[in-house]
C-alpha cells in the first residue's frame, strides 16, 4: 500500500520527520501545512511535496491522509490531533503532548475510539544506547537502581537577546518552557527504564524574564520556565533527580547517571558514550551506534537519527494493520503530561504531589 502523509509544521518536521519519512519506499509525502506559507513551500520544495498550505484545516479537508504528523507550538496539538483522528488518519504528535492532562486525555480517548494508531515524538525510545540502558537495568546488570541523576544545561535562553521577540518556546500561554521542551523527554524515558512513578516534587523558575528580541531589538517578557528541577520517587523506591536549565551562558549538555546496588551506568549526549561499571570493576565503553546515522539525507544528532526507526515502526504498523510494537503512545504521552502537571502544581504549592 501507499501511506499518504500530511505534515503540520515545517521547522522540526523539516529537520527530522521528513528526512526520516523520505527513507521509506511506500510513503508518499502528500501535503504540508504551516502558519507561514514560505516555510511550508521551502520544505515542500526540498522534499517534493506537491500540496502546500498555510491552513491545516484546509489540508485535512482536501486530502484523505493515512498519517498526520504534528510538529507545531504545543497549544495547537490537541485541536490538530483531534481533527486528524476524526478525519480517519493515524497521528504522530510532537512532545509535549498538549497544554494539560485534560487535553491529553481527550486525544488518547479519541484515538482509541477512532481505532487509529497514535504515537508521541519520543524518538529516544528508539535510540540504541537508551534501549541498551533499559536492557541492562532489566537484566540486573547494576542490581537494584537506587538513584538517577539527569542534568541538561544549555545556553539557549541565557542571553536576554538570544530569542526572537515573543518566541513561543518562551511563552507559557503557547506551551513553552524547558519542562516541556526537554523535561518531557527525560520524564518520558524514566518509566521506559524504571517502571511506574509514585510522587514528584519540584521547582520551576523564569530566570531571564526581561528579554530583547534578537530580530527586532524590542523589549519583551518571557513567561515560561527557563529552569526547572524535579525529584521523582519511583514505585520501586528509586529516586530520580532531574535538573534542566536553558538560562546558562554556556552549554554543558545532557548527562545521565544511574546508580545501582551492583554497578553504575553513565550516558552523555555530548559524545553518545554509554559507560558501564559493575561492582569492583572499572568503567567500560559499551556504546552502540545507530545504523541509520549513515543514511543519506538524515541530519546529525540523536534527535534526528532516532526518528528513522520510529517512522519505520509506525509505517510498518500502518501497512500491516497492527498495533505498535514499540514507541510511546498517546497513553504514554498522557502519563508524561500528568507528571508535568503535577510538577507545576508542586512548584506552586511547594510540596510533594502523589501520582497515584
Give the model confidence (pLDDT) of 54-103 as tens digits: 999 999 999 999 999 999 999 999 999 999 999 999 999 999 999 999 99
Question: Would you say 302 and 288 are in contact if contact means Cβ atoms under 8 Å apart?
Answer: no
Listed residue (277, 252, 22) closest to 142, CA to CA: 277
Q: Average pLDDT, whole number, for the chain?
A: 97
Question: Would you say 211 and 219 are in contact if contact means Cβ atoms under 8 Å apart?
Answer: yes
pLDDT computed for residue 24 by the predictor: 98
Give the model confidence (pLDDT) of 110-163 as tens digits: 999 999 999 999 999 999 999 999 999 999 999 999 999 999 999 999 999 999
**β-pair partners for 45:** none
pLDDT, average across residues 328-338:
98
Provide the pLDDT confidence category of residue 220 given band limits of 50, 70 and 90.
Answer: very high
Please determine, for residue 106, whether its predicted confidence score (pLDDT) is greater than 90: yes
Question: Grid coordinates 521506559 are at which residue?
Answer: 192
Provide the pLDDT confidence category of residue 231 given band limits of 50, 70 and 90.
Answer: very high
pLDDT computed for residue 356 by the predictor: 79
Provide the pLDDT confidence category of residue 1 given band limits of 50, 70 and 90.
Answer: confident
pLDDT computed for residue 223 by the predictor: 97
Q: How many Cβ atoms are within 10 Å of 221's Cβ, its own excluded?
A: 11
CA distances from 120 to 11, 71, 320, 334 (A): 17, 11, 20, 10
Provide the pLDDT confidence category of residue 234 given band limits of 50, 70 and 90.
Answer: very high
Domains and their CATH numbers in the chain: 3-124+304-328 (3.40.50.720), 128-289 (3.30.360.10)
Give the model confidence (pLDDT) of 258-296 as tens digits: 999 999 999 999 899 999 999 999 999 999 999 999 999
Amino acid at each position: 500500500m501507499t501511506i499518504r502523509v500530511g505534515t503540520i509544521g515545517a521547522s522540526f518536521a523539516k529537520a527530522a520527520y521528513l528526512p526520516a519519512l523520505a527513507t521509506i519506499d511506500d510513503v508518499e509525502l502528500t501535503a504540508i501545512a504551516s502558519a507561514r506559507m514560505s516555510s511550508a513551500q521551502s520544505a515542500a520544495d526540498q522534499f517534493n511535496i506537491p500540496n502546500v498550505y498555510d491552513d491545516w484545516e484546509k489540508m485535512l479537508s482536501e486530502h484523505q491522509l493515512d498519517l498526520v504528523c504534528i510538529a507545531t507550538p504545543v497549544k495547537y496539538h490537541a485541536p490538530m490531533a483531534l481533527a486528524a483522528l476524526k478525519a480517519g488518519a493515524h497521528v504522530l504528535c510532537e512532545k509535549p503532548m498538549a497544554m494539560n492532562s485534560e487535553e491529553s486525555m481527550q486525544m488518547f480517548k479519541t484515538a482509541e475510539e477512532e481505532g487509529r494508531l497514535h504515537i508521541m515524538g519520543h524518538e529516544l525510545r528508539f535510540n540504541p544506547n537508551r534501549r541498551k540502558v533499559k536492557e541492562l537495568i532489566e537484566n540486573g546488570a547494576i542490581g537494584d537502581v537506587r538513584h538517577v541523576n539527569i542534568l541538561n544545561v544549555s545556553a539557549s535562553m541565557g542571553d536576554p537577546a538570544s530569542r526572537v521577540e515573543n518566541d513561543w518556546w518562551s511563552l507559557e500561554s503557547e506551551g513553552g518552557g524547558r519542562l516541556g521542551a526537554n523535561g518531557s523527554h527525560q520524564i518520558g524515558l524514566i518509566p521506559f527504564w524504571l517502571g511506574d512513578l509514585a510522587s514528584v516534587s519540584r521547582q520551576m523558575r523564569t530566570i531571564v524574564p526581561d528579554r530583547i528580541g534578537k530580530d527586532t531589538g524590542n523589549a519583551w517578557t518571557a513567561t515560561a520556565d527557563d529552569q526547572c528541577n524535579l525529584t521523582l520517587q519511583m514505585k520501586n523506591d528509586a529516586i530520580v533527580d532531574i535538573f534542566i536549565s536553558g538560562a546558562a551562558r554556556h552549554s554543558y549538555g545532557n548527562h545521565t547517571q544511574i546508580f545501582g546496588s551492583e554497578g553504575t551506568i553513565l550516558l552523555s549526549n555530548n559524545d553518545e558514550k554509554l559507560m558501564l561499571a559493575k561492582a569492583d570493576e572499572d568503567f567500560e565503553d559499551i556504546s552502540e551506534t545507530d545504523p541509520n546515522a549513515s543514511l543519506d539525507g538524515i541530519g546529525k544528532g540523536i534527535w534526528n537519527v532516532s526518528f528513522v526507526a520510529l517512522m519505520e515502526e509506525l509505517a510498518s504498523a500502518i501497512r500491516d494493520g497492527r498495533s505498535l510494537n514499540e514507541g510511546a503512545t498517546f497513553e504514554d504521552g498522557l502519563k508524561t503530561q500528568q507528571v508535568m502537571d503535577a510538577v507545576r502544581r508542586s512548584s506552586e504549592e511547594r510540596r510533594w504531589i502523589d501520582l497515584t
